[in-house]
Chain A
Amino acid sequence: MHEMSLAEGVLQLVEDTARREGAKRVKLVVLEIGRLSSVQPEALTFCFDVVTRNSVAEGAALEIVDVPGAGWCMQCAATVPMAELYGSCPTCGSHQVQPTGGTEMRVREIEIE
Chain B
Amino acid sequence: MACGNNCSCNNNNAGNQDNSRRDFLVKGLIGGIGAAFLSGCSTNDKTKPESGEKINVLTHDGKLVTVDKSQVANFKPHISEEDVRKGIPGKKFVMVIDLAKCDGCGKCTKACNKMHYLPKNKEWIEVIEMQDSPEVAPYYFPKPCYHCDNPPCTKVCPVDATFKREDGIVAIDTDRCIGCRFCMAACPYSVRLFNWTEPIKPNIIETTPAAENVFQSKKGCVEKCDFCPHMAREGKLPACVTGCPMNAIWFGDANEDAVTCYDGTTTKLSQLLEDGGAYRFMEELGTEPRVYYLPPTNRIYDAKEIKIEKEGSEN
A and B assemble together: no
Partner-A contacts on B (CB < 8 A): none
